[in-house]
Amino acid sequence: MSHVTLFGQFAERWITEVAPLRLKSTAVAEYASLLRLHVLPFFADRPVAEISADEIQGYMASKVESGLSPRSVRNHLAVLRALLKSALAFGLIDTNVAMKVTAPRHYRQEQRFPTPGEMRAILESCPPAWRLGLALPIYSACRKGEALGLRWPAVSIPNRQIAFVRSVRGGVEQTVKSPASRSSVAMAEELVPLLLDRRKVVPDPVNGYVLCDSSGAPLKDHILNGVLRRACKKAGVEHFTYHQLRHGSIAALIASGVHPLVVSRFARHASVSTTFDEYGHLLAPLAGGDCIADLSRVISGS
């Protein structure tokens, strides 16, 4: 009689032996949490070879019905597909049934970005010692992990340049999100005095982290969230997330009339199409009034 491998047994092996070879440590942690909280309670005692597409489809529907967003449930399907792909490679199943499952449709919700006035108010309401932490996404559109992973060798005040090459998430340092994200941006003049003041108080102003605790270790993820939450409350504006400050920075640049390609490079998107996908509704029409008038004349024959 052949050995029956239960889903829970294989999931534990996959998350410890396979996932770390293919994914960043933060992604492994997120997948492990998702498995523990959602997927394993449903599938743990089921033999891997007996799980059907219909069963997974039912699981997806139940999660959406329970109130989880379609976007979150799509992440569940991504984990199941990756896990069963390995099970297929190991010969435990004949086909990856998760690939036959229909993912719940995710409707992109337009989110409100902080306005330039709100971002100014947030900075003015932030204690000076913490202001740099919030000014970085506002003036350089960096992501939180990139701000936490910023080291002094990547900061050139004389050349007014900041290079975002590393990221810290969950206390783990790694490369930035994508090759396109690994680049330098021009340093806004507003950041100069904040960086100079910060350099005077950090344990290692030569090779250490820019945003660090008294021991020189990078700040914990939640600290900047708390700083931002208190600053928003004091400023009398709605609560924005750290990533929304990045969005507000990019939106402000768009509002100034900068060309989409320049905006894309400032945002360090993989391509200008990403910029259009995220911010297309804010961009001025590429075809101006003169062009449309010419089109009208051609079609009408005038």
Say whether pLDDT at 289 is over 60: no
Candidate from 127-141, 152-166, 177-191 with smallest mean pLDDT:
177-191
Say whether pLDDT at 269 is over 70: yes
Neighbouring C-beta atoms of residue 50, cutoff 10 Å:
11
Radius of gyration of the chain (CA): 24
Angle at 283 between CA 282 and CA 289, to 5 degrees: 125
- How many angstroms separate the CA atoms of 73 and 104, rounded? 7
What is the arithmetic mean of pLDDT over 245-268?
A: 88
Topology alike, domains 7-100 and 116-255 = no
Candidate from 85-89, 238-242, 263-267 with smallest mean pLDDT:
263-267
Helices and strands, number each (H, E), in the chain: 15, 5
Cβ atoms of 68 and 26 closer than 8 Å: no
Residue recorded with tokens 């905006």? 263
CATH of domain 116-255: 1.10.443.10
Q: Which residues pair with 47 in a beta bridge?
A: 6
Q: How confident is the model at residue 68 (pLDDT cuts 50, 70, 90)?
A: confident
E strand spans, 126-255:
155-156, 161-164, 166-169, 172-175, 183-186
Closest CA to 286 of 294, 296, 277, 276: 276
Cβ atoms of 218 and 212 closer than 8 Å: yes
Indicate the burial class of 29 (C-beta count within 10 angstroms; 0-12, 13-18, 19 or more): middle
Domain layout of the chain by residue ranges: 7-100, 116-255
Q: Which CATH superfamily is domain 7-100 in?
A: Tyrosine recombinase, N-terminal domain (1.10.150.130)
Cβ atoms of 228 and 119 closer than 8 Å: no
pTM confidence score: 0.68
